[in-house]
Every structure is written in C-alpha cells, then in structure tokens.
C-alpha cells in the first residue's frame, strides 16, 4: 500500500470514528432528555391513587394466544389495583389489533374482567400500535386530559415524555414486578432517540376515527379491528 492509499484509509477510519462518536452522543443526549424530562411525573403507585385521573392507560405488550405475557400481566395487575383504589374511574387498554388473529386490547380487557373490573369501565383502543399512537388517541379519540400510564420502568420515561409533548396531564406508574430481559433496555435506549424527534414533529397517529368519550360505556369499543394491510 502506497503513502496516498494509507492517507485515504486513515481519513476513512477517522470519519467512521467521528460518525460513531456522534451517534453515541446523540443516543446519550436523547436518553438523558427523555429520562430527566419525565422523572418528576413518574410517581409511586400509592401517590397515584389520589390523582382522580380520567383513565388509567395500560400500554399494550405481547400476548400469548388468549393470555397476556408476563410483561403485560404485570402492567394489568398494577392498573387493576389503581382502579380498585379509585385512582381513575376507567381503564383504557391500548394495543395492537392489526389482524384478526392478534388482539391485545381484548385479551387485556378479558383479564381485567376476570379480576373484578366491570366491562363498562374498560375501554379498548384497538389501534394503539405504538406508545405515541396510544397516547395521541387517548387524548384525541377518547378525550382523556389527565392520564395515569402504567408500564415497566424501562418504558415509563418515554411514555410520560411523549404524553407531555402532547400536552396531556400525564403521570407514570411503573409495573416492575418481575425480572425483565436486558434486551428491553437496549431497545428502549434507541426508542428514546425516535421519541425526541416524534415529540418535535407530533405526527398524526395511524388511525383516528370518531370520538369515543372515556366517560361513557366501555362496551362500545369491544371487538373492533383495525386492518394494517400487513400480512
């Protein structure tokens, strides 16, 4: 390799190093922004019981057939306890129902009913395909202004951060009742970068539709499907 080739390779390596460093700094900055912005609104379960919110929002997660996964079960258990303590009069189950064979909100609602929550107090958001859509639809479709969001600690900061960006009076309660995979934290660190840009541009959720006031009867939201067009 001649001297000119060596200089070229050196420049390429330097630019690659600078690019990696800038990406790393972006990830760190975004994570710190999200975490510290949300921190004052992430509260203990006992403190949330007196908030008198419009609803308790349970953010969807994987289901296994007709049963919630361990991650989702932990979220549901905390949400049900908050409802029973009077933190809010309604539960809003928001998750993925993009195909007929996969219906997170209905599984979530069934679990809550089995644990003593009346069906009319449980609303299903069948188009909560991601955290931002769940929050945007909670406000724009269901008319929620004050929300208690329930999810794991690795996810709660992003949920609260995005809720604040949507001008929702939001509080977060963690549902850490089991050990979770380290990969969840890794994915979340990258998701927080996207959340910062989402908070700036505030796109419309994939679906909106007619207003469904959270003050009404949750049974009107049963068995609704939103076809994503994906196989």
Q: What is the pTM of this model?
A: 0.90
pLDDT (average), residues 19-28? 88
Q: Does residue 1 sit within a domain?
A: no
Q: Does residue 124 sit within a domain?
A: yes
DSSP state of 49: T
Helical axes 70-84 vs 104-114, angle rounded to 10°: 50
| Alpha-carbon span 65 to 68, nearest angstrom | 8
How much is the pLDDT for 225?
Answer: 56
The domain containing residue 21 runs over which residues? 8-221
| Alpha-carbon span 148 to 156, nearest angstrom | 11
| Alpha-carbon span 188 to 55, nearest angstrom | 25
Helical axes 153-165 vs 3-38, angle rounded to 10°: 80
Is 60 exceeded by the pLDDT of residue 230?
A: no
Query: Which of these, 188, 178, 216, 204, lies nearest to 92 by C-alpha position?
Result: 216
Q: Does residue 228 sit within a domain?
A: no
pLDDT (average), residues 61-73? 96
> What is the tally of structural domains in the chain?
1
pLDDT (average), residues 95-101? 89
pLDDT (average), residues 65-70? 95
Q: CATH no. for residue 172? A: 3.40.50.620
Q: How confident is the model at residue 80 (pLDDT cuts 50, 70, 90)?
A: very high
Q: Does residue 231 sit within a domain?
A: no
Summarised one tens digit per residue, pLDDT across range 99-115 is: 888 999 999 999 999 99
| Alpha-carbon span 36 to 39, nearest angstrom | 5
How much is the pLDDT for 124?
Answer: 98
Q: Does residue 206 sit within a domain?
A: yes
Q: Does residue 191 sit within a domain?
A: yes
| Beta-bridge partner residues of 123 | 92
| Alpha-carbon span 38 to 64, nearest angstrom | 31
Burial of 210 (0-12, 13-18, 19+ CB in 10 A): exposed
Q: How confident is the model at residue 228 (pLDDT cuts 50, 70, 90)?
A: very low
Summarised one tens digit per residue, pLDDT across range 120-177 is: 999 999 999 999 999 999 999 999 999 999 999 999 999 999 999 999 999 999 999 9
């Amino acid at each position: 390799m001649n001297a000119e080739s060596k200089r070229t390779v050196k420049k390429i390596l330097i630019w690659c190093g600078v690019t990696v460093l800038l990406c790393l700094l972006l990830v760190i900055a975004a994570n710190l922004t999200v975490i510290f912005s949300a921190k004052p609104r992430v509260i203990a379960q006992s403190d949330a019981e007196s908030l008198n919110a419009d609803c308790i929002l349970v953010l969807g997660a994987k289901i296994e057939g007709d049963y919630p996964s361990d991650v989702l079960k932990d979220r549901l258990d905390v949400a049900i306890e908050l409802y029973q303590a009077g933190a809010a009069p309604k539960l809003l189950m928001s998750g993925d129902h993009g195909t007929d064979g996969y219906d997170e909100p209905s599984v979530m609602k069934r679990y809550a009913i089995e644990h003593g929550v009346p069906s009319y107090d449980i609303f299903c958001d069948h188009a909560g395909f991601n955290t931002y859509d769940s929050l945007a639809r909670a406000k724009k479709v269901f008319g929620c202004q004050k929300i208690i969001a329930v999810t794991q600690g690795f996810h709660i900061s992003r949920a609260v951060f995005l809720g604040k960006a949507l001008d929702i009076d939001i509080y977060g309660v963690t549902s850490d009742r089991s050990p979770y995979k380290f990969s969840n934290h890794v994915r979340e660190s990258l998701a927080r970068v996207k959340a910062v840009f989402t908070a700036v541009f505030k796109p419309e959720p994939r679906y909106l539709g007619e207003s469904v006031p959270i003050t009404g009867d949750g049974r009107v939201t049963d068995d609704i499907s939103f076809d994503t067009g994906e196989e």
